[in-house]
Amino acid sequence: FRLHTRFMGSTAAQQLTLVCAAGFLLRVCVWAFYGQTSSIGFHHPVKSFKRITEALFLDSAGLSPYGAHTFFQPPLVLAPFWIPAQLWQSSSGYSDVLSLLWGRFVFAAADVVTAVGLAKFTRAHDRFHFTSNPGAAAAALYLLNPINVMSCNALALDCLYRPILAFGLLSAYEGSIVAASLLLAVGVYVDLANLALFIPTCILLAQSRQYMEGLLTCVAHGLLFAVFLGQLWYISYAMLGDSWEALLRIYATQHSYTDFTPHWGVYWYFFQQMFSDLRSFWVWFLNCHACTYALPLFCRVHVLPSAGVLLYTLYLGVGTMLAPYPSLADVAFYTTLAVLGHPAYVAGLKVGFVCTYTGFVLLFLGPVFYLSWVVSGTGNANFFYFVTLAFNMCQVWFLKDLLVQAIVEARAVEKVLAAERAVQEREEEEREAEEARRRAEEEARAEKQAAEEQQTGRRGPRKRGKIFFTRD
């Protein structure tokens, strides 16, 4: 009780600091007492820290990090780990331990930075009114989420990419063109699916500006984004030995569904059972499928005052469901963003309880069915695949209900705007009618005056009569 009283009596910045420290210590304690999470749901081999350690080992041996065909991330992703690895090569007995400790610190710090970005965004957005300190509540909602804690403990690379998206949203909401363009370029550099976030970023940058100023802002954002992304790609091109083909191969491998390791997505089983003749068609179709929702969603909800934040959340959700190698960290991030950005929508979900309850049940059933299939051999792939299908169906229900809430509000806003336009048109018509009446009166008065002057000119001047004076 004393701790609670002291916490509630502290300032907003102090509360946020305490929440971030508690989240960091929680991750350290989970790793110290539980060890690294190896569950398939919290990370995928393509996006795991183990692939980074393998790439660093190949690099230390004088070989290409991509020589073993296990590491499929852009080369700059290795930078936070390659520099300390070079410094610790002298201490050969402790290099592996120091690299692991440094990796733990980087992943935990990335989660804390993401929480700070979400806290600042929540305070700026000012929609989360359930507490007196929305920033600390947002940080606690993210840092104390068990899925985020276990994903960080599993060293999933998605945890490293969350700060880019969180601060990219914050920069766009605050109208910082350079920062938003840079962070979006970095986000697209690590994952091409984030290119769909270009539209909501433009909306957020232009929402507080006039039409022409907003249009120029979007053009400037596009140019800066292209410049920053081009620079990142050129640096990677130089690091890969002046080979564009190697860089293209990295992104192609990320989206070609070549790794059939079971995960929480829906395509690993699909491509396992597919004939090789149809593979190229479905790879192109499924990668383009996620992009087809960008323009229709924008056309439907662009009238909302918070359309940019809503589209940012919806695009992340759709991209997570249709991603080649999704993880639970992606699901936890966009659901947290939905709660912080649109708490009224989430509170009004018709299937919110069903989705939440079913999702948590499936999170426990997934590892059980996976172990019964892979370890004990008492099940088969259909068991685990059924769980993944049901889990993705819960996501579909959640996003559909969220979109329905937004469409209802968009229709109400359209009705209000239509009524305002009707009032303005009526006032304009009345003003034009009054102007026409006044102009007609002036013309009639001018015609009457001209007619009188013309009639006076036709009669000629009046003749003066003679006056005779007589003497009495």
Burial class (CB in 10 A: 0-12, 13-18, 19+), 11: exposed
d(CA 383, CA 373): 8
Contact (CB, 8 A) for 164 and 186: yes
Which two three-digit tokens encode residue 182? 């840079």
Regions of the chain short of the pLDDT cut 70: 1-10, 35-39, 41, 85-99, 128-130, 208, 211, 457-472
Summarised one tens digit per residue, pLDDT across range 99-142 is 677 778 888 899 999 999 999 998 888 776 667 778 888 889 99
d(CA 229, CA 175): 20
Question: What does each C-alpha distance from 339 to 25, 66, 194, 224, 347 come to in angstroms?
Answer: 25, 39, 21, 31, 9
Chain center to CA of 339 = 13
Q: Domain ranges in the chain?
A: 1-252+280-348
Tell me the pTM.
Answer: 0.84
d(CA 317, CA 146): 19
pLDDT at residue 129, as a whole number? 66
Contact (CB, 8 A) for 44 and 327: yes
Summarised one tens digit per residue, pLDDT across range 401-453 is 888 888 888 888 888 888 888 888 888 888 888 888 888 888 888 888 877 77
pLDDT at residue 296, as a whole number? 84
The residue type of 425 is E
